[in-house]
Amino acid sequence: MSVFHIVVCAGVVPDPLQSLVPADDPAKPALKNELMLPHVLDPWAEHALYEAAHLAKTRDGSKIWVISLGPKAKVQQVMMKTAQKAPFQLIAVDGTSSGFSDSFAAAEVLAQTINSIEEINKEQLLLFGGWESASRASGTTLQLVGEMLDIADQFQGVDELSVLPDGKLRILERLEGGEHQISVCTGPPAVLGWATGNLPEPPNNPQIGMVNMRQMMPALQKAQVADLSQPTVYHSVELPKQKRETQVVRDKPVQEIAREIVEWMRLR
């Protein structure tokens, strides 16, 4: 049976339910009160972690490392919840989680971090993460990490991974219009940038959380500081100005509303 060494790259992002407003200096873009905002694990990376946990559970000897690049205090806060979801070893890297940081610089840090984990056998490596982040959303960071690690098999927008009896990996990647591309890869190493996958969020397991937390605090204390370079020149960062004048229609009979909508639908 195949044994996998699964590395999940999972950053933290401001909670999407918060109001996100750019800071005043467009030359140094950031979010207003960024460090005051509550953070969550990047949603697509979170799915990647759940898929990793599901895979590792069925493969004895497999192990998961979660590499989280973000402000140490925010990573610690997020891990209080995430640690209860699945067994993994955290490797924290202390740096910005800003969407305006450069994906090349972030990828370099992540690749160096993975290379520094002596326990990982590259022939068994599955590099997981979200196909895009909820901050920069460029869809490039994980791909660059894979390329820097010389991994020739990459899949993005993954919704399903199954291990075939001969050890090959069968992968479903999102195309468009609800279609998926089916690929079969001879095995690891491979990069899988996850979309939502098919698994629900696992329930909290306090016992797993306690085991995880024992090694998380030392990992957070040991977090290396990453200074991400920023070659992009920003000229403006602003909220969309478009605000529509909404006509509110009350007390109109259902039949009239329906007729109005159908007429509008048929207008070319």
Partner 1 sequence: MERLLYLIHPESDGSLSTRNLEGLSAAKSAAQELEAQLQIGVWGDQIRPILDNLAGISPAPVLIVEDPAFKDGRFASDAAAMTALCRKAEPTLVFAASSPRIMRALAAVALRMKGAVDTHITDIDTSSGHLRIHRWYYRQRMQAEQNRQERPWFLVLESGIAPALQVEKGQVETVAVSCALTPKEMRTAVEGKQLPKGDSQTIKPDAEMLFVAGAGWTKKQSDGQIHADVAEKLILDFLHKSGASLGSTKSLVDLKGEGQAVLNFMTHLNQVGQTGSTPRHDKGIATCCHGEEPHVVGWRFIGERRAINLDANCGWAQGKADVLYVADAFQVLDEINRLLSE
Instruction: Answer left, alpha or beta for residue 146, where phi above 0 means left and psi between -120 and 50 means alpha.
Output: alpha
Q: Is 129 in the site for partner 1 (CB under 8 A)?
A: no
Q: Which is nearer to partner 1, 134 or 223 (CB)?
A: 134
Q: Which is nearer to partner 1, 59 or 180 (CB)?
A: 180
Q: Is 231 in the site for partner 1 (CB under 8 A)?
A: yes
Q: Pick from 3, 19, 57, 204 the residue near partner 1 by CB under 8 A.
A: 19
**Smallest gap, in angstroms, from Cβ of residue 260 to partner 1?**
8
**Smallest gap, in angstroms, from Cβ of residue 60 to partner 1?**
25
Q: Which is nearer to partner 1, 131 or 219 (CB)?
A: 131
CA distances from 144 to 121, 127, 134, 197 (A): 20, 11, 18, 22
213-240: buried (b, 16+ CB within 10 Å) or exposed (e) per residue? beebeebbeebeebebeeeeeeeebeee
Residues ≥6 apart with Cβ < 8 Å to 226: 69, 93, 94, 95, 109
Q: Pick from 24, 60, 123, 182 the residue near partner 1 by CB under 8 A.
A: 182
Q: Read off the tokens for 27.
A: 């030359």
Length of the chain: 268
User: Interface residues for partner 1 in 62-101 (CB under 8 A)?
Assistant: 99-100
**Smallest gap, in angstroms, from Cβ of residue 217 to partner 1?**
30
Residues ≥6 apart with Cβ < 8 Å to 255: none
Q: Is 51 in the site for partner 1 (CB under 8 A)?
A: no
Q: Which part of the chain contacts partner 1 (CB under 8 A), choosing from 51-59, 84-92, 132-140, 212-220?
A: 132-140
Q: Pick from 103, 113, 124, 212 the residue near partner 1 by CB under 8 A.
A: 103
User: Interface residues for partner 1 in 150-179 (CB under 8 A)?
Assistant: 152-157, 159, 172-179
Cα–Cα nearest to 201, from 75, 74, 69, 84: 84
Q: Is 27 in the site for partner 1 (CB under 8 A)?
A: no
Distance CA 126, CA 185 (A): 12
